[in-house]
Structure 1
Amino acid sequence: MKPTNYHLFDFLDFDVDLKKDESLWKAYKPLAVEEKDGDILVSVPFQKQVLDNDMAADKDVPQEVYTLVIRQYGPKITRLFMGFGEERMTDESEMLKYSSRIVKMPLHADFADDQWTISTGDSVKRAVINMREPVLDRWSDLQPDPQETLDIRLYPDGKREVRLAAYDHFSPPRYDALPLAFCKNEGRKERATLSFECKADECFAGTGERFAKMDLSGQTFLLKNQDGQGVNNRRTYKNIPFYVSSRMYGTFYHTCSHGKLSLAGHSTRSVQFLSDQAMVDAFVIGGDSFEEIIRGYRDLTGYPSMPPLWSFGVWMSRMTYFSADEVNGICDRLRSEHYPCDVIHLDTGWFKTDWLCEWKFNEERFPDPKAFVHGLKDKGFRVSLWQLPYVAENAEQIDEARANDYIGPLTKKQASEGSNFSALDYAGTIDFTYPEATAWYKGLLKRLLDMGVVCIKTDFGENIHMDAIYKGMKPELLNNLYALLYQKAAYEITKDVTGDGIVWARAAWAGCQRYPLHWGGDSCSSWDGMAGSLKGGLHFGLSGFAFWSHDVPGFHTLPNFMNSVVDDDVYIRWTQFGVFSSHIRYHGTNKREPWFYPNIAPLVKKWWKLRYALIPYILRESCKATESGSTLLQALVYHHPEDRTCWHIDDEYYFGDSFLVAPVMNSANRRDVYLPEGSWINFFTGEVVEGGRWLKDVAVPLEEMPVYVREGSVIPVYPEAVECTDDMDMSKEADIVIDKTFKGIFNTVSL
């Protein structure tokens, strides 16, 4: 649809020709406010609007009244809920996993001076409902009087005001945002919108793995999971209905429906959310830091669990290995040439037919899979396996899956949802809303895990067959939630069998942070692919996720998707980025093993050894992230939300709380580096640099990387070279104090 620049069409998705039986219902001033069981119930009338791009009340249609629920959880979170007679408020949801800090605080309401003041028992103001008439100095009747509106101010932490966008219009008929409204289509309620006021200098971040600039203000996003097809466009595998604001609040929209989120995009005065479902359920979270706000989000949706030690080592993969002999040859060479490595990943080629996922090893090319897996474990290699949540038409399990409704029965023939790279017909999506289907899927994985496999790559899951019948919900609601149900099943069976809770996942929705870890999808092996990956990881870390990785050195190549050669400098610079990421995995459409890049192979080995030296630090920061609002890959604004410069930096990051990392993403081997306030020490040279300024056009040889540590930081390291984490005795870890006597890590630790 071509944009019209009218709110009704461009944001609320009305038919531009106004030929559909659609109607918009706008919230008016409350009729009543009452207390019930510690909640505040606000009776809100809604007035139908005439079907026109200029809004006006349709007085021939009676108002409809619905209840807005205001609830307080603890001292920092206020919840707004309205189900428009269609949905009920619930604390039972796959997305919600309340921590012990989520305790309902009873609210009470007092009316004085033409407003309702809503407070908790500690006399802290949590909301104000304005009932006052606006002050007028009437001199013209050129424009009609504005319609009534819903004017509510929230104070989730008792300090910061988050106001509904009650007055975002040019003239009474020309609205740019509505504080609260719903739509009908052929008499059925189907969409709802909630808008908050936005300040002129307000900045935003989060919303999932967003391949965009740091400050998201001025943008509107479709919250619909889909195959990202790279990391340089608006599509994304991981939409998270949660954002953080520079005004130090965040909002989590508790829904799995498709929707839109406009962060000062359609109107610079408003943050607008549109749900395809006739329901609004928003948790508004206040805090004095982003760590506190994100911790509030995790208090609602769950905390990340701790990945196992071995997962922090190097993972080696490509698309794909095809036989036990090929894999053993690669692993033997890694050991003989002393490249430290912990995981070998088998992608699409371990089945009888490449891409035909049957959860069984090819018996000819992997004749004794259990012995194969255990033999690798004896050498210090764990095995990770690729699969996906669709059953192909020619799969061994197709008849069983169809007969038992383990896949959602299709209502019509449709194109494959399974893969961009295969012509296989994926006949159905495993129905994780059906407990028996989930148990069946877990059984398929258990046979592999019982062999000694340690991790399942839960690839895809962003799309499902939409023309299918699922036991638990409609496909329009399942599509976004699917990633959570899928990864939960794989995570649970992996932890049950192996004791280690881990998956390697691509899609995500709210709550998926509980089931680490996630990687950034099919990036290009190029500088723009690296930059896009980092942007996605930074926003993802501000969306509640602690553990995130990416394919080193990118997944596909250009100009030939599968067959172009990766440049040496891209390979080594991406390796450096991987060393300073929560997890590091080599993967892609062609050769990824370092000896295929002989000019830089010795340098790659040195960086791998540095990775293993840093594992004690990574473990410390990971443990912190599972207990707080922290993450491993931290945008600069996470620590410096008040620094306006940081809101424009998306090519640097904190790695944990101590390291400041500035990857080089060009062939010129130069870049500008911004150092926030404080005294910083170069991790590789020991040079002391004062912050609060830019370092311009810094020359960075290929063997170096701009990494700085705050003076006085203590970095735990492993002081000995190892082949894999099995060789580590953590009692040997040593602390390095980063002060003016520090001469650089390569002069401190023997690698």
Structure 2
Amino acid sequence: MPVNLRLREFFCLIVLSLISVSAVFSQQRQVTEVAPGVKKITIGKTDPLTPYSFCDEKPQVAAMQKLPAGNLPFDINSIGINISERGVLVEVPLDDKEQLYGFGLQIGSFNQRGLRKKPIVNDNPSTNLGYTHAPTTFYVSNKGYGILVNTARYTTFYCGTTAKNVNEVKASSQSNGGNSVSELYGSKGTAAGYVSADVPGAKGIEIYVFEGPDMLSVMQRYNLFSGGGALPAIWGLGVKYRVKADFKQDQVKKMAAYFRDNHIPCDVLGLEPRWQTASYSCSYVWNNEFFPNPQNLIDSMKRQGFHINLWEHAFVNPKSPLYTQLKNKSGNYLVWNGLVPDFADKQATKLFADYHQNTFVKQGISGFKMDECDNSNITMGDATWSFPEHSRFPSGLDGEQMHQVFGVLYQKAIYNIYKQNNIRTYLDVRASSSFASSYPAALYSDTYDHNEYIGMVVNSGFSGLIWSPEVRESNTVKDLMRRSQTAVLSAQALYNSWYLQNPPWLQINIKQNNNNELMANAKEVEADVRKLLNFRMSLVPYLYNAFADYHFKGIPPFRALVMDYPNDEKVHNIPDEYMIGQGILAAPLTEKQNERKVYLPAGNWYDYNTGKKMDGGKEYTINTSFTELPIFIKEGTVLPMAKPVEYVTPDTKFEITCYVYGEKATGSLFEDDGVTFNYDKGNYNNISLNYQSTKGKAERKGNFKSNRFIIKKWEVIK
């Protein structure tokens, strides 16, 4: 054999050896602690653009250090990770009794144990597979830990559903098949061993592991790691009303007058698509035919205590002043003949944000409804309006990855305008993703099942998300009032009348409503709705404190009972009760219910409507009237309730009655200007509320110089 051929073979062997060594080295995992109680596993060639790569907010390390230390129920090195030609497979240990929750704003499922979940962004979350407006690749266990697979790729989780062909396998008790198709295929998988996460196409992966020691601590770590929970402008916790899509300027003013003349609380008026010269896709230019003097509208509404919120989406019409600038900074496919901005590109984001700042925010627009940033319904072949998964963007993202993060990047672009101007807001958004805790944006949906809306309030707390179970039309007055009760007991009290001439409480029939034919009992129903909305305004100080706990401590303001009571097996599968703040348990009813069962966890509770003391660890049957609220107060709670106001201004003083539940009780209030980010500089007060020995005491500590909350009296509930 010639010498040069032998040399060539020798060098080939060396090269192959180096490649082999390199491959082995590249798949060596690294485990690092990236924040107190948060570890990151890295292996292989990870994607440069991931959900966490877009998180600009820094972890609140000081707050995380105050949390109790957590221990994983397994060795972190026992998390299996395999990289193959298919992609990445992650296998997380799972024991027989673990219960799993999360994966974003899930609909149709609560306890995810035994399910196959595919958290993909979709405009119609109609099944329990995982398609949703706000998917996250994050789940939390009642054993006190959370797992986040940091990828924007479509990922499938098998939550203890599959058994491996290893060692000996016990014979199945159903080896002869069932007696019916439903018996044969309908049994839910309960295999122990692992949660498997399948990430096709990935060449490497990052996994974030959040330690407990309990579920609530896990969520605190996750939210604080994401920058802390959102703290909306205080006026955003009032009432929002979206007017009919084709309303003109004088009709908006007339609707505003209706609210003030009838003393119905309202803080925000939302304008729908026709305010623009083009809306599918968007021009972001005022329609002078409908709004001849928009600045006059903004200013006059402000004088009456209203904030203006504008509907839009991010697809840029050729008529828009932004079109030429964004032409080469957008995806290679159009939506409604409009550009899809590459929000993963900082220059594209800046162009979009600067235009909104100069054209709208500086003129006094207080927020935006960011619509259509999810995906056309991937369960239907004729739903094709959005950009395809094979799209390409200048940043390097493909359409699949962009769909998963588009909503959160859109939020960030708009939110940062307000933050940079030291103005707080409360936004609406159609899609979100992981690490979105710090964005004050309430999610909404075109679906309208009331049970699902309640379930999404509960599930939102597992993923750092805010959900708004808005009220649109209703089947009956009963349906309207039950939906209104849920809206009042949620993160955003919203009525969306985009296709109604009049408020839904004046006429529930759509055709008659738009013909201005009001119900005979319209004023009676209006009075009942007013009572519920006044309750909402009374609750604003309590809710504001709950959101402050969200921001500074990471505690979800709305959360499932299992988060507070993870060892109580009776709450593991309760999808329609939830905690509000530290002391309120809510159990909404729907139109189909004249009564419902409510389980109260350990401890003593009080029926808010009757003051009756109730033993925990038991189930009760309740039936609340339309103007009562289905809530229960935990013993030991001081509940600060304000004299209702019709709207909140920077100068609003809340007159507080402290309701005391128990012989010894505590509560708190967070006090600042409510409209700026000055709290980040320490310009706020904490007011501790303590009652014992027949005496109540409010102690104010902090640097905020004004008194927004005036403690008027204490009332003991016996």
Shared fold per TM-score greater than 0.5? yes
Q: Secondary structure of the equivalent of 1:510? A: coil
Structure 1 window deviating more from structure 2 (241-250 vs 565-574): it is 565-574
Compared CA separation, residues 542 and 65, structure 1 to 2 (3 A): closer
Return the match for 1:543 from 449, 456, 463.
Answer: 463
1:160 matched residue in structure 2: 73
Amino acid at match of 1:332: A
Q: Is the 8 A contact 1:96 1:300 kept in 2?
A: no
1:395 matched residue in structure 2: 319
Amino acid at match of 1:716: P
Asked if 1:430 corresponds to 2:430, the answer is no
Alpha-carbon distance in 2 for matches of 1:72, 1:256: 22
Amino acid at match of 1:82: I
Q: How does 1:42-441 map to 2 (within 5 A)?
A: 66-73=27-34, 76-83=37-44, 85=45, 93-95=53-55, 97-101=57-61, 157-158=70-71, 160-162=73-75, 179-184=80-85, 191-228=87-124, 234-267=130-163, 268-269=191-192, 270-276=194-200, 277-318=202-243, 320-353=245-278, 355-392=280-317, 395-397=319-321, 399-401=323-325, 404-410=327-333, 416=335, 425-441=336-352
Q: Displacement, 1:227?
A: 1.5
Q: Displacement, 1:472?
A: 1.2
Alpha-carbon distance in 2 for matches of 1:535, 1:574: 13
TM superposition score normalised by structure 2: 0.76
Amino acid at match of 1:472: S
Q: Displacement, 1:312?
A: 0.6
Q: Secondary structure of the equivalent of 2:216? A: helix
Compared CA separation, residues 731 and 338, structure 1 to 2 (3 A): closer
1:284-309 CA distance string (max 9 Å, x none): 22212222111222343221231111
1:505 matched residue in structure 2: 429
Q: Is the 8 A contact 2:35 2:225 kept in 1?
A: no
1:552 matched residue in structure 2: 471
Q: Is the 8 A contact 1:483 1:507 kept in 2?
A: yes
Compared CA separation, residues 229 and 352, structure 1 to 2 (3 A): farther
Q: Displacement, 1:231?
A: 8.1
Amino acid at match of 1:181: N
TM superposition score normalised by structure 1: 0.73
Asked if 1:732 corresponds to 2:655, the answer is yes
Alpha-carbon distance in 2 for matches of 1:225, 1:674: 33
Q: How does 1:15-54 map to 2 (within 5 A)?
A: none
Compared CA separation, residues 701 and 658, structure 1 to 2 (3 A): same
Amino acid at match of 1:448: F
2:492 matched residue in structure 1: 583
1:647-703 CA distance string (max 9 Å, x none): 11011111111111110123342111111111111111111111110113x333333
Q: Displacement, 1:630?
A: 1.0
Alpha-carbon distance in 1 for matches of 2:310, 2:585: 33
Compared CA separation, residues 231 and 451, structure 1 to 2 (3 A): farther
Q: Secondary structure of the equivalent of 1:649? A: coil
Alpha-carbon distance in 2 for matches of 1:362, 1:88: 41
Q: Is the 8 A contact 1:313 1:725 kept in 2?
A: yes
Alpha-carbon distance in 1 for matches of 2:506, 2:196: 51
Return the match for 1:595 from 487, 500, 506.
Answer: 506
Q: Secondary structure of the equivalent of 1:511? A: coil
Return the match for 1:713 from 620, 637, 652.
Answer: 637
Q: Is the 8 A contact 2:104 2:463 kept in 1?
A: yes
Compared CA separation, residues 567 and 728, structure 1 to 2 (3 A): farther
Q: May I ask how many residue pairs the two structures share in their alignment?
A: 590
Alpha-carbon distance in 2 for matches of 1:631, 1:452: 30
Q: Secondary structure of the equivalent of 1:305? A: coil
Compared CA separation, residues 550 and 601, structure 1 to 2 (3 A): same
Q: Secondary structure of the equivalent of 1:536? A: helix
Compared CA separation, residues 203 and 90, structure 1 to 2 (3 A): closer
Amino acid at match of 2:456: G
Alpha-carbon distance in 1 for matches of 2:366, 2:561: 34
Alpha-carbon distance in 2 for matches of 1:398, 1:725: 35
1:108-129 CA distance string (max 9 Å, x none): xxxxxxxxxxxxxxxxxxxxxx
1:133-177 CA distance string (max 9 Å, x none): xxxxxxxxxxxxxxxxxxxxxxx94452256778xxxxxxxxxxx
Compared CA separation, residues 203 and 319, structure 1 to 2 (3 A): farther
Amino acid at match of 1:499: I
Q: Is the 8 A contact 1:231 1:521 kept in 2?
A: no
Q: Secondary structure of the equivalent of 1:273? A: strand
User: RMSD of the alignment, in Å?
Assistant: 3.3
1:221-265 CA distance string (max 9 Å, x none): 223222235688742010111111011111121222221122113
Q: Is the 8 A contact 1:573 1:665 kept in 2?
A: yes
Amino acid at match of 1:449: V
Q: Displacement, 1:579?
A: 1.2
| Structure 2 residues not aligned, in runs of 5+ | 1-19, 164-190, 376-385, 509-521, 666-713
Return the match for 1:533 from 449, 453, 474.
Answer: 453
Amino acid at match of 1:216: Q
Q: Is the 8 A contact 2:123 2:374 kept in 1?
A: yes
> Kindly, what percent of the aligned residue pairs are identical?
21
Amino acid at match of 2:235: W
Q: Secondary structure of the equivalent of 2:339? A: strand
Q: How does 1:484-495 map to 2 (within 5 A)?
A: 484-495=408-419
Alpha-carbon distance in 2 for matches of 1:705, 1:731: 21
Compared CA separation, residues 582 and 514, structure 1 to 2 (3 A): same
Asked if 1:474 corresponds to 2:400, the answer is no
Alpha-carbon distance in 1 for matches of 2:50, 2:329: 28
Compared CA separation, residues 196 and 673, structure 1 to 2 (3 A): same
Alpha-carbon distance in 1 for matches of 2:119, 2:51: 22
Compared CA separation, residues 453 and 357, structure 1 to 2 (3 A): same
Amino acid at match of 2:295: K
1:539-595 CA distance string (max 9 Å, x none): 2211123x4322124xxx7xxxxxxx5321111111111111122111155334433
Compared CA separation, residues 96 and 68, structure 1 to 2 (3 A): farther
Amino acid at match of 1:575: S
Structure 1 window deviating more from structure 2 (207-216 vs 464-473): it is 464-473
Q: Displacement, 1:203?
A: 0.6
Q: Secondary structure of the equivalent of 1:648? A: coil
Q: Secondary structure of the equivalent of 1:258? A: coil
Q: Is the 8 A contact 1:102 1:299 kept in 2?
A: no
Q: Is the 8 A contact 1:454 1:498 kept in 2?
A: no
Amino acid at match of 2:470: D
Compared CA separation, residues 500 and 78, structure 1 to 2 (3 A): closer
1:15 matched residue in structure 2: none
Alpha-carbon distance in 1 for matches of 2:525, 2:32: 58
Q: Displacement, 1:427?
A: 3.0
1:435-483 CA distance string (max 9 Å, x none): 3321221133120112211001122222362444322122133331222
Higher RCO (C-alpha under 8 Å, 6+ residues apart): 2
Alpha-carbon distance in 1 for matches of 2:46, 2:611: 63
Alpha-carbon distance in 2 for matches of 1:550, 1:256: 27
Amino acid at match of 2:364: G
Compared CA separation, residues 629 and 103, structure 1 to 2 (3 A): closer
Alpha-carbon distance in 2 for matches of 1:158, 1:234: 29
Alpha-carbon distance in 1 for matches of 2:322, 2:540: 43
Alpha-carbon distance in 1 for matches of 2:347, 2:129: 38
1:111 matched residue in structure 2: none
Amino acid at match of 1:632: P
